[in-house]
Structure 1
């Protein structure tokens, strides 16, 4: 039994590492994709591709659609996690660096942890609370404690939009646990992404109709990678993770995403890796270690 539990934990940790790497790299592609098409158009292609991929998998595996009584909940999750989060984030990326954007979005664990205590009755152990605080301090160290000083209105506006997106993602995590955690993760991911992509497509049609779209090897790669791997695969794995372990542990692991995002942004986009970034990254890793090695997980 102990061996089985250890094996399950290892699978979850591997999944956490895989999805944080995918999401970290996706930030670079999301930023660069804006040179080929509008932010909402890219998101519509991305999540439309992800939804089609997952619906095909559901059909091939003959999993079937979830019962109708769950559909309203899946619409809510799709609206919060896909439509709201990624319309706000993609729009904000026009003003905010990819690395900094990823840092702000992954304030999500803080909001999720607070909501989990209030609505799921979870308890935060001293070790997890310490790890969360250390990780959040690391995030602000990366962004810079003076992030709103001397910034243009557009940049500050973009930063605030991403924080709102982080709160929307946190709410969707709690909503998932309360209403649909008993469903197949593939069903949830496919249906929420389908409903969410409808909202993004409407936003693209309303705001970006007639704007140029460039299809070439790079832009198609961006859509396929972010749609199939960073969306369809990663969000299915994410729903699996948050259905198996407590919300605090699951969400703290996502603090790795900004580290990977900043690293890939530095290598591929030439964004600067400062002492603050390195110090903040060390704090985030320390926070994750503190939170996950607690014996009372």
Structure 2
């Protein structure tokens, strides 16, 4: 059996998880100079420009009509609403807490995709999600105890999780008829158009923002948006939404590590233990049951 496609999908998922983890830290940094809407629009503009260049090089046309409903819905909810409310939420809570609250998303995706898409829910996937969710709760409790969260910030991150889950479930059917690049590019463009009311804020804030914040915004557009959303769509097209969502439980553990290394937000023992549980749950959810040995044929056969 050729395992190359599954390995490529796993590699794409890994790229997505690492880049999305870095996004939480970058948002925390760039958000000191840019308001939530302006930061979302700047990120989406950079992402749309990057994806548009790739579309021109690959001569990708417009997506088929059947894919537009999913593309438009995911663009409005995931690329648009999600990015604005996440940026807003990270002005109230630290990067690690934001990542953990947003990662109720995989459970919402599993429920929605089972109900709306008919995705299977194997026992290992359920068990892995339960372990990861326990880890997320542990980290969230530790950070709340340390005074790193607010009610408004947590509520905004919950709203971001709802937008993220709904966008993923809407995107999955679009990938049946549209290419990965078409789905990502035009979803990003829809989100960009939805955020255009923040254009005045973006122009005003860019004039006085430090170069490090502007570069952080561009990084968010090129890597965690253009590249990571494309690798996500590539992997999503080759597996179920529930299994892909479970993979993102690795994000909180990576965010905690990156926040520690780059922002100086030092995690406590409970936080580290919760991050380890998140990773363990991902390993369980991505594992496959061992095949039973083939039964021997009838006697004398």
TM over 0.5: yes
CA distance in 2 between partners of 1:76 and 1:119 (Å): 15
1:194 aligns with 2:198: no
How many angstroms does 1:93 deviate by? 1.1
Structure 1 spans left out of the alignment, 5+ residues: none
Q: Deviations over 1:26-57 (max 9, x none)?
A: 21111110222222111111111101111121
Which residue of 166, 170, 190 corresponds with 2:165?
170
Residue in structure 1 matched with residue 22 of structure 2 by the alignment? 25
Which residue of 176, 180, 204 corresponds with 1:185?
180
Count of matched residue positions in the alignment of Structure 1 and Structure 2: 291
How many angstroms does 1:221 deviate by? 2.2
CA distance in 1 between partners of 2:178 and 2:194 (Å): 23
Does 179-188 or 51-60 show the bigger shift?
179-188
Change (3 A) 1:284 1:49: same
CA distance in 2 between partners of 1:42 and 1:106 (Å): 21
Change (3 A) 1:7 1:208: closer
Change (3 A) 1:150 1:35: closer
Structure 2 spans left out of the alignment, 5+ residues: 292-301
Q: Deviations over 1:159-218 (max 9, x none)?
A: 11111211211111111223443210100110010110121232x247778556435441
Change (3 A) 1:235 1:212: closer
Q: Deviations over 1:58-113 (max 9, x none)?
A: 11211111134533432211001111101110011111111111111122111101
Residue in structure 2 matched with residue 291 of structure 1 by the alignment? 285
CA distance in 2 between partners of 1:259 and 1:75 (Å): 31
**SS of match in other structure, 1:35:** coil
How many angstroms does 1:122 deviate by? 1.8
How many angstroms does 1:224 deviate by? 2.4
2:64/2:178 contact within 8 Å kept: no
Which residue of 248, 253, 258 corresponds with 1:259?
253
Map residues 122-133 of structure 1 onto 2, 5 A cutoff. 122-133=119-130
CA distance in 1 between partners of 2:229 and 2:159 (Å): 20
CA distance in 2 between partners of 1:25 and 1:242 (Å): 20
1:51/1:232 contact within 8 Å kept: yes
Which residue of 211, 224, 227 corresponds with 1:230?
224
Map residues 153-168 of structure 1 onto 2, 5 A cutoff. 155-168=150-163
Change (3 A) 1:28 1:214: farther
CA RMSD of aligned residues (A): 2.3
1:75/1:195 contact within 8 Å kept: yes
1:221 aligns with 2:215: yes
1:138/1:279 contact within 8 Å kept: yes
CA distance in 1 between partners of 2:235 and 2:290 (Å): 18
CA distance in 2 between partners of 1:146 and 1:34 (Å): 20
Residue in structure 1 matched with residue 266 of structure 2 by the alignment? 272
CA distance in 1 between partners of 2:69 and 2:188 (Å): 13
Which residue of 131, 137, 141 corresponds with 1:140?
137
**SS of match in other structure, 1:239:** helix
Change (3 A) 1:206 1:150: farther
